[in-house]
Amino acid sequence: MTTLYAGMGELVTNDPGQGDGSPLGVVADGAVVVEGDRVAWVGLREHAPDADDRVDLGGASVIPGFVDSHAHLVFAGERSAEFAARMSGQPYAAGGIATTVAATRAADDETLDHGLERLAAELCRGGVTTFETKSGYGLTVADEARALRLARAFTEETTFLGAHVVPREYRDDRDGYVDLVVGPMLEACAPLARWVDVFCDRGAFDVDEARTILQAGMAAGLVPRLHAGQLEEGAGIQLAVELGAASVDHCTHASDEDVEALASAAATTVATLLPGAEFSTRATWPDARRFLDAGATVALATDCNPGSSFTSSMSFCIAVAVRDMYFTPAQALWSATAGGAAALRRDDVGTLAVGRRADFVVLDAPSYVHLAYRPGVPLVRDVVAAGTPISRKPRVVARRTDTFPSGKFPEEPR
């Protein structure tokens, strides 16, 4: 069974061998053939092969599905009051995480699963077809393992973040907590995770603690990634590069040496920028041109979490990244798709090419530029994930009049 998608205003492939030869590989009047969950053909409409089925997109543009390489989706509660206080003048500190930790520990599995399902659906409606999510709001052996177990039902990109903050009960025994993380917690979590992560910043973990935890995770078979440079400059970015981390995330504060390290030929670490965090904490914007001009690989992700960036919208992140972080619209889209795939070391997603997973987004716009040009507008019309179209229309509960032969309508569900 093959399906030909045609009638596109603009097709972004992220394959420089296509169309205009730019990094986005933009094809005017392009077409895609999907077979099963894979891309079977991409190119100019006039050269497209026959297919069993045909979908005319009526001039809409098509982009690869977004790859959100950084999110924290397993938690209970919300922190809008903290956000309101911050927007009224109070500064952001890493300690707010404790509020979510308390709510998450107190929640039952069903509550956490429901929240995760809601956010996963929200991401998908916004065009995200691959996402990563972390533990980090449990901070006990059982609660961290539970978070990862629940997350694995939604994504294979799960990250053990037992080192998010030092929980209150270990406030006077940091070393004891690090021992717990690299000992029984890692042992319980490593089989449930692909990645190990540490929040290496002021108020969280220092670079020596981060090194200890990441190396322990690597010894247990996990691949490192790191939160660094969100609140202040430090040695975290260089540590990430040194350990060959897949990604170092935030990079709001980075020295010239940090940028140089990320851009060096030997570096395998992606710099992931998280505009939602700067937006929601009213922080200074990093200038993406420093990283891009130096030649570093840059990703954009939502950092979706209840404290410092409660957005699941990659479109929003692109708009802000273009406006305030000086990405060009093309760089921002690449970073939100192919860049995210690089940050997750995935070569099956982020690009529309033969053999890759058929993940793409149909935009109600003639060009991808509209993602930044029309901020806040829901341009995602349709999402195709692994070859399957996912309608973004809300579900409508059908009136089951057939079960009421007397003609009496059932009571409206409340």
Q: Which residues are annotated as a binding site?
A: 70, 72, 79, 137, 164, 227, 230, 303, 305, 307-308
Of 34 and 165, nearer to Zn ion (C-beta) is: 165
Least Å distance, CB 354 to Zn ion, is 34
Least Å distance, CB 155 to Zn ion, is 15
Of 143 and 303, nearer to Zn ion (C-beta) is: 303
The single-letter code of the amino acid at 54 is R
Least Å distance, CB 94 to Zn ion, is 11
Nearest-5° Cα angle at 56, 53 to 60? 140
- Interface with Zn ion (CB under 5 A), residue total 1
Point out the annotated binding site for Fe(3+): 70, 72, 227, 303
Distance CA 380, CA 365 (A): 9
Are 344 and 158 within 8 A, CB to CB? no
CB proximity list for 232: less than 8 A, separation 6 or greater: 201, 202, 253
Least Å distance, CB 399 to Zn ion, is 44
Least Å distance, CB 190 to Zn ion, is 20
Would you state the structure tokens that stand for residue 84, as one six-digit string? 């309101």
Q: Dihedral sign for Cα 90, 94, 95, 96, please.
A: positive
Binding-residue pattern over the window 301 to 330 for Zn ion, x denoting contact by CB under 5 A: --x---------------------------
Of 5 and 66, nearer to Zn ion (C-beta) is: 66
> What string of H, E and C letters represents the secondary structure of 351-397?
CCCCCCECCEEEECCCCCCHHHHCCCCCCEEEEEECCEEEECCCCCC
Binding-residue pattern over the window 391 to 410 for Zn ion, x denoting contact by CB under 5 A: --------------------
Of 5 and 316, nearer to Zn ion (C-beta) is: 316
CB proximity list for 386: less than 8 A, separation 6 or greater: 37, 129, 357, 358, 359
Residues 221 to 240 in contact with Zn ion, rule: CB under 5 A:
none
Sort strands 30-35 and 38-44 into parallel, antiparallel or unpaired.
antiparallel
Distance CA 193, CA 174 (A): 24
Of 303 and 359, nearer to Zn ion (C-beta) is: 303
Of 64 and 286, nearer to Zn ion (C-beta) is: 286
Least Å distance, CB 12 to Zn ion, is 27
Question: How far apart, in Å, are the Cα atoms of 266 and each of 23, 219, 358?
Answer: 21, 22, 31
Of 209 and 303, nearer to Zn ion (C-beta) is: 303
Point out the annotated binding site for N-formimidoyl-L-glutamate: 137, 305, 307
Give the binding range for Zn ion (CB under 5 A) out of 28-36, 100-108, 188-196, 295-303. Answer: 295-303
Binding-residue pattern over the window 244 to 283 for Zn ion, x denoting contact by CB under 5 A: ----------------------------------------
Least Å distance, CB 71 to Zn ion, is 8
- Determine the 3-state secondary structure of 193 from DSSP: coil
Give the binding range for Zn ion (CB under 5 A) out of 10-18, 80-88, 297-305, 374-382. Answer: 297-305
Distance CA 161, CA 195 (A): 9
Are 218 and 199 within 8 A, CB to CB? no
If you ran DSSP here, which 8-state letter would residue 222 be given?
P
Question: Nearest-CB residue to Zn ion?
Answer: 303
Would you state the structure tokens that stand for residue 294, as one six-digit string? 């130096």
Point out the annotated binding site for 4-imidazolone-5-propanoate: 79, 137, 164, 230, 308
Interacting residues with Zn ion (CB under 5 A): 303
